[in-house]
Structure 1
Amino acid sequence: LFDWMTIHKKLFNKLLFCKMRNLYSPLLRHFSQSSLPLHRNTNVQSAFCTQQNVQECLSHINQEVSSLGLPTVWVELDESSDLNVVTVLNCMYDLIQLHHRSLRTLENIEVEQLKSNSKLDYLQLSTTRLKEQLECSKRENTGLLERERQLQQKVKSLQNCLKNEKEEVQKLQNIIASRATQYNHDMKRKERDLNKLKERLNQLLADKKERKQAIDVLNNIGRADGKRSVWKTEKTEAKHEGEMYKALLSDYDARQRDLVLENAELRKVLQQMKNDMVSLLRLKKLTQNGVQNQCNGTQVEEDGFDPSKELFCVHACEKLTNSLRLQWRRLKSHVEQLDSQGIETVPRESHEEEMDKLKLEVQQCKDLIQTQQHLLQHQLNSSCDEIASLRNDGYMLQEKERLRGEWKTLEEQRSIFDRERKNFTEAAIRLSHERKAFEEDRATWLKHQFLSLSPCGDLKKPLLSDTTGASSTGVCLFLQRPPVDISTSFEICISTGGKNTQMPRSKPAYCGIKCH
């Protein structure tokens, strides 16, 4: 800016010098030329002074000279008048100087006017330049505002993603905590079983070492103090019989407590499975009445399976079977509805296999509950002989082995369910990406369609017809097809069984669209 101003000043000085020279050269020439004819034409142009009005002209000149502040050139006396030549010459010189000063002032005024005109031009240029800078700054400001808006939208989307990730992490933490509690419980139960088996093995080994060729005494109850028993009398027999009954009752109570604990644990596991099935079958788009009925039904079922309440085995078995039947019916109706809609997420053969497997598992659970019920009733009503107790021990061992097998199968099914859930989450993520790409294609097509429908786009319509022909068919079919709920299809696919039924990659939610 400083360099530009210095260059402008130099150009202004040169222009001013040229204008001054062009302007004052004809004026001076005219003045020098006009001074000569003034003296030459004094005799010709004698309109002001003649021989008759000399006195009047002198008096008039005296007045004018005195008005200009100069001394008078003619003094009028009483009898005679005298013309002062020196005074006339001085007045002429003063008039010439006054004329020169007026010329200089005129010259200065013209110079100032030129300067003011140049300043005005400079200010006009600076105002135009500042206006351009203002427009540029406004454009930059609008660009920055648009960028800020885009960044705010991006921040909002990232916040939503972070919230979803936190919810997913919370769900995974809850699942891990539930698995940890279940594993701890299994470890404690296995430790108890191991200790019991060790005690039994030690007892059998000790009995085998001490066995001799003699009559074995059955149901021998030793004394607590380790002393030998006295002679058998009526009092001693009654006392020994009471001790035997007490020992048997304590043993039965301990076994019953263990069975009650195992039944409560199994009931918790079955209740958790039921809740998982309910959560998988719960749809997002339900009417308010349907939601209230389902909530009431689940509350009633949960009240029936409250672990804090001590229910009898018969009632527990009935409620468990009723709830499983109800959930199975819901699952069956939901799968039939999906088949009627034409959404085949799982092959039919694998679906039938999974249904058979689930039916077999339900039947096994029912058999397990019935056998436990029979065992409890048999233990409560059994006699006090050792043969029955040994038989019950054998039954208990068999049931424990069977329960171990059932727990192993349940753990395998749980791991399979977890793998399926992971696979379906990945499929849902891919589906969301594909849907986003399709929405972008749809937006571009609508944009081209809008431009083709506008008056200025009629010339471009033949060019756009070839490019937008394929996308128009896909978009129209997409608008006519109802949207598919990703979460519903994901939950249904998880609840169908233990096999890995991952959705194919080439079948997104809008797989029914045929793009030509």
Structure 2
Amino acid sequence: MSAMFGRRRVGRCPDCSDLHLLRDPDTVNELSHSAPQWTHREECRQQGEILREQFQEMEEHVARLQDALEHEKAKSKRLQLRSNQQEAALRRQEQQLNRLKDRLTDRPRDKGPSMDVLNLPPGEQLVKTFRSAARREEAALRLVLERREAELREAMKLRHSLTTLLHALRVNMEHTLSGGTDAGAEGKCLAGAEATLGDHVTGGVVQRWRQVQRRLGELLSEGQTGADTDQDKLLARLESDLRESQQLVRLQQQLLQDSLASPVPPELADGYFLEEWQRLQRRWAELRRQRRTFERERRSFTDAAVRLGRERCELEQQKASLLKQQYLRDSPPPGHSRGGDADVSFCPKSGQCGCPPITPSPKSGAARGRRQEGAGARTPDTPELYSALNLSYNSSSGTEPRAESWDGPTGPRTTCSTQSPLFSYSLDRW
């Protein structure tokens, strides 16, 4: 009975699990969506690491460009300092020229000739020598003044050219840092200013700046070709996923509001219930198939156990009959037994002893077989299952007492007992 109860409990487990799955379909949906979400998270994490590496490379490029920009700024500062020094020198020269002009205009002309007159003989010769010396000095001073003015004009031109070059260089740097690419006019201005001034004045700063621009363009092109393609693709895909998610959220919110506000329309309700009914029918069909399989296996196991029990009983009966024949063959003849002793019957009547005879008759065996066949297949009990599985089963502890029946004080004594240990040992040995 315990085995039958255990089988019934096992048979109910698939029903309970299927009913639980039918009542709670969220678990199935979570299991079906967990794997794609995990793969999507892994892909997002790998893409984030790739973007992080690309961002670090871009930061390194930007750091190098900032170093180059600082170097160029230092060069521009040096040029600015140089131009300031030249401006200071020009101011000093202008001051010197102004002082010279003041001396020429405010010079006392009678002091020198009075000394000459005192030292030289009088006459017209003194006046002529004084006039010629003054003219020569005036011509020399005019020449010096013209030269100084020419140098001043050249210095002013150079200052204006350097100021224009620095302004154009600053504008070009700002345009490059802002990300502009159309710098043709600015490049022409820088080239013209450098050609006008010469390399000995500018120090090749325009050429160095062009080299820095070309290097910066190469680095930006390499970074854009390497990172813009993957990054743009990733950004486009993320944006599309974001839009789809937003649309899905809006649709879910709208459906939730519709479900809360109004019941399901009849045309949609029919389709919903039909889908649920089809799913339920599929589950029921699978459950019936599993139940039929379980019943078939249980029936086959029961038939095999019953068949093994019958074969074991037949074998025991054959062993008992052979032992009886051997015992009767080896026993002494009946004439040698004492007449005063009581007759001992090993096969008494059923009324005197509760155990069946050792060798059943063919008719009783056939009747018992017909009764078992008429009863049909049944669930075997515990002793039959133990005997089918070749296992020992002790139904009672200890030996059973012998049953004796006496007809009287002098009558025959009938002794009947269950199978003794010696008899069981002989059966097993046989």
| TM-score between both structures, scaled by the size of structure 2 | 0.31
Structure with greater contact order relative to length (CA < 8 Å, sep ≥ 6): 2
TM-score for both structures, normalised by structure 1 = 0.27
Q: Radius of gyration: which is bigger?
A: 2
